[in-house]
Amino acid sequence: MKAPVTTVVVAEEVRGSRLAHLLDSEKWLGRLMIGPAILYIALLVGFPFFLALYYSVSDITVGSQSLNFVGLKNFTSIIGTANFKASLKNTFIFALVSQVIVLVLAKVLALALYKDFRGKWLVRFLILLPWVAPISLGTIGWLWILDSTYSVINWTLEALGLIRPEGWFMWLGIPHLAMGSVIAVHVWRLLPLATVILLAGLASIPQDIHDAAAVDGAGFWRHLVQITIPLLLPIMIVAVLFGAIFAFTDMIVIYVLTRGGPYDTTQVLASLAFFTGIQSGDLAEGAAIALFLFPLLLAAAVVFLRIARQAEVA
Amino acid sequence: MALSPKARRVGAKAAHIGTLAAFTMFTAFPFYWMLITAFKQTSDLMKRENNPFILNAPPTFEHIRVLFQDTLFANWLWNTAWVGVIVVLITLVLAVPAGYALARLTGRWGEQLGIAIFLTYLVPPTLLFIPLSRVIANLGLQDSLWSLVLVYPSFTIPFCTWLLMGFFKAIPPDLEEAAMIDGCSRLGAFVKIVIPISIAGILTVVIFTFTLVMQEFVYALTFITSVSQYTVSVGVPTFLVHGDVYFWGSLMAGCFIASVPIAIVYNFFVDRFIAGFTVGAVK
């Protein structure tokens, strides 16, 4: 990683004094080349972020012309509400359960995909589909699959004799079923990403290690638990990290499938922030709700930085 | 129980195929479902006794006709493409030089800065859409596709800069050194030597930017209010979902048309995308 940098330095020293002012201008050239991108990000990510902090301690609404400082009133008033408590709980259930399932399934699927077989390209494409297709559109496919009157799942269960015609499930209309459905769709959506990340990890384990283990007579499970999983750990953390960020902050699946219903049983912080801030026009309270996600992201960023640093040292 | 090695091999193979088949069915089924629904006659869709997995009557193109003639679907596709192209241009103009500067010109703190830029990609729209809605309103861009053109680069630039930085780092510096010894300026070497051999990386960035634009939902939902101004990922779920069974055919046709072709293109580039995601965790 450091090698190319040294070569540049050496090459530049060889060219000596002629380069003295060029190096100076290179510094400026670098700043000039990266400046516009940083400015754009600062204006459209940094500035709105601080605006969000500011809004959360104000009384701004969609229609208001001026805003007043109200301290932590928004936060204290939200925390007490039933729908906020429900959303906070749902966010954690939704994200944690889907992440655990995704990780287990992705591990199994990555091991299956790692082997060579005919038609691998096609299988991989079909498995990647949920991730590469626009999520809101894929979710509509599920809306139809889970339809209360025409659900294909109900049809199949009935055809197999497992339920009666009058016993069809209202997948999105009953609290626990709705949560289960939303989690299942989220697993569907995030499984491909976690799988390909783990595949990249599997591919990076040197074959010698596998060979050595085989020579030493390690069986499948022992090999998996003592060799593959420990070596995959850093990349598994990366997979979980991205998965968690997507799961904690996503509102698309919920917006399309249930809009938070029935009775807020699938409402999460992201969707609640949308309904409060945009649809009801209470920007201040919406911003405050969204900010509850921030500590989480901060934690994710710290983990990410640690991994990046470790990789640099190694 | 002692199994012969052959029986073991056959068993392992069957388990392997079974696992893959089960997963493939889970991931691809909704798309099969869209496809078959799009061609089913409405009477077939409505009969609960009919086997839903197959066409029980000859295929119909009526749903697709309705989708393109009686809804704004074609409009939404056009809006998406228009926003996509402009965002791609903005992203390239800003991210290509930035990626190069991080790879070659910023020295030690380049790495740190690169990571910082990448981290901004992880700041989700959920945190920013509320203040941005006010910013957009103050700029007078509400309900205009220009609002999306302005905001989308805020997540495409960080990711693309990061990807391009990795790409430029992989190019041997000797190439530019040689050009510079021959009298080329650093900028000249970048334009004449580095960009032409980085076409593959730049193409990757173009595809990602376009798919990110196509997938984006929250900002478009927040900033746009007129039906005719929607992008496809928001127009279809908000305006075509009627809760009306007669419409499922067109709805599914719309979902399929707007998702599968782009998915096929994206699939060719997905490995590079993953390489960007996994940073240094894979060596």
Tell me A2's DSSP state: -
Provide the pLDDT for residue A1: 39
Cβ within 8 Å, pair B101-A34: yes
CB count, 10 Å around CB of A179? 17
Would you say the pTM of this structure is higher than 0.90? no
Backbone φ/ψ region at A261: left (φ over 0), alpha (ψ -120 to 50), beta: beta
Which residues in chain B are contacts of A304 at CB distance < 8 A?
115, 119, 122, 279
Phi then psi dihedrals of residue B72, to 5 deg: -90, 15
**Chain B CA closest to residue A282:** B130
Question: Nearest C-alpha of chain B: how many angstroms from A11?
Answer: 8
Q: How many CB pairs under 8 A join A and B?
A: 316
Per-residue confidence band for B245, with pLDDT thresholds at 50, 70 and 90: low
Provide the pLDDT for residue B2: 61
Phi then psi dihedrals of residue B24, to 5 deg: -60, -40
Contact A281, A62 (CB under 8 A): yes
From chain B residues 104-133, the ones with a CB under 8 A of any chain A CB are 104-107, 111, 113, 115, 117, 119-120, 122-133
From chain A residues 185-204, the ones with a CB under 8 A of any chain B CB are 188, 191-193, 196-197, 200-201, 203-204
Provide the pLDDT for residue A305: 75
Tell me A27's DSSP state: H
pLDDT at residue B283 tops 50:
no
Cα A27 from Cα A19, distance rounded (Å): 12
Mutate to test the interface with A, among B9, B102, B126 (most CBs of A within 10 A): B126
Which residues in chain A are contacts of B282 at CB distance < 8 A?
200-201, 203-204, 235
Q: CB-CB: which of B52, B123, B134 is closest to A45?
A: B123
End-to-end CA distance of chain B: 42
Structure tokens at B251: 């709805």
pLDDT at residue B281 tops 50:
no
ipTM above 0.95, yes or no: no
Contact A291, A52 (CB under 8 A): yes
Question: Nearest C-alpha of chain A: how many angstroms from B72?
Answer: 16
Structure tokens at A39: 């400015």
Q: Worst-scoring range by mean pLDDT, A73-77, A234-238, B193-197, B260-264?
A: A234-238
Residue owning tokens 């004449």: B192
Provide the pLDDT for residue A131: 87
* B54/A contact by beta carbon, under 8 A: no
- pLDDT digit string, tens, across residues B134-156: 899 999 998 999 999 999 999 99
Contact A179, A92 (CB under 8 A): no
* B98/A contact by beta carbon, under 8 A: yes
Nearest by Cα to B158 from A181, A44, A204, A182: A44
Question: Nearest C-alpha of chain A: how many angstroms from B224?
Answer: 12
From chain A residues 268-297, the ones with a CB under 8 A of any chain B CB are 269-270, 273-274, 277-278, 283, 286-287, 290-291, 293-294, 297
Which residues in chain B are contacts of A140 at CB distance < 8 A?
236-237, 241, 251-252, 255
Cα B234 from Cα B221, distance rounded (Å): 6
- pLDDT digit string, tens, across residues B6-50: 888 888 888 889 999 999 999 999 999 999 999 988 888 877 778
Structure tokens at B119: 């981290």
Cβ within 8 Å, pair A33-B100: yes
Provide the pLDDT for residue A24: 56
From chain A residues 205-224, the ones with a CB under 8 A of any chain B CB are none
Per-residue confidence band for B115, with pLDDT thresholds at 50, 70 and 90: confident
In terms of pLDDT, which residue wins out, B74 or A4? B74
Per-residue confidence band for B242, with pLDDT thresholds at 50, 70 and 90: low
* A152/B contact by beta carbon, under 8 A: yes
Q: What is the CA A279 to chain-centroid distance, rounded? A: 25
Structure tokens at A194: 């976690």
Helix ranges (H only) for chain A are 3-15, 20-41, 47-56, 73-80, 82-114, 120-132, 135-145, 152-159, 175-204, 207-215, 220-223, 229-249, 252-257, 269-274, 283-291, 294-313
- 3-state SS string for A79-111: HHCHHHHHHHHHHHHHHHHHHHHHHHHHHHHHH
Q: Worst-scoring range by mean pLDDT, A217-226, B81-90, B123-132?
A: A217-226
Provide the pLDDT for residue B257: 92
Radius of gyration of chain A (CA): 25
Percent over 70 (pLDDT), chain B: 94
Per-residue confidence band for B97, with pLDDT thresholds at 50, 70 and 90: very high
Which residues in chain A are contacts of B186 at CB distance < 8 A?
22, 25-26, 29
Domain architecture of chain A: domains with CATH: 1-56 (no CATH), 81-313 (1.10.3720.10)
Q: CB-CB: which of A135, A143, A188 is closest to B26?
A: A188
Radius of gyration of chain B (CA): 24
CB count, 10 Å around CB of B280? 18
Q: CB-CB: which of A46, A55, A278 is closest to B222?
A: A278
Provide the pLDDT for residue A59: 84
Provide the pLDDT for residue B186: 82
Mean pLDDT for chain B overall = 86
Burial A9-40 (b: 16+ CB within 10 A, else e): eebbeeeeeeeeeeeeebeebbeebbeebbeb
From chain B residues 14-43, the ones with a CB under 8 A of any chain A CB are 16, 19-20, 23-24, 26-31, 33-34, 37
Q: Worst-scoring range by mean pLDDT, A89-93, B209-213, B273-277?
A: B273-277
Provide the pLDDT for residue B7: 85
Backbone φ/ψ region at A263: left (φ over 0), alpha (ψ -120 to 50), beta: left
Report the amino acid identity of residue B43: S
* Polymer length in residues for chain A: 314
Provide the pLDDT for residue B199: 87
Domain architecture of chain B: domains with CATH: 65-281 (1.10.3720.10)
Q: CB-CB: which of A126, A269, A278 is closest to B28?
A: A126
- 3-state SS string for A103-164: HHHHHHHHHHHHCCCCCHHHHHHHHHHHHHCCHHHHHHHHHHHCCCCCCHHHHHHHHCCCCC
Side-chain half-sphere of A71: how many Cα atoms within 13 Å? 3
Residuewise pLDDT in 10s, chain A (314 residues): 344 444 445 454 545 555 555 555 777 888 888 889 999 999 999 999 999 988 888 888 877 767 788 888 888 888 888 889 999 999 999 888 999 999 999 999 998 988 888 888 889 889 989 988 889 999 999 998 998 888 888 888 888 888 887 778 888 888 889 999 999 999 999 999 889 888 888 887 888 888 888 888 878 888 888 888 888 887 888 788 888 888 888 889 999 988 887 888 889 999 999 998 888 888 888 888 988 888 878 887 787 777 767 765 54
3 state DSSP class of A58 = strand
* A31/B contact by beta carbon, under 8 A: yes
* Polymer length in residues for chain B: 283
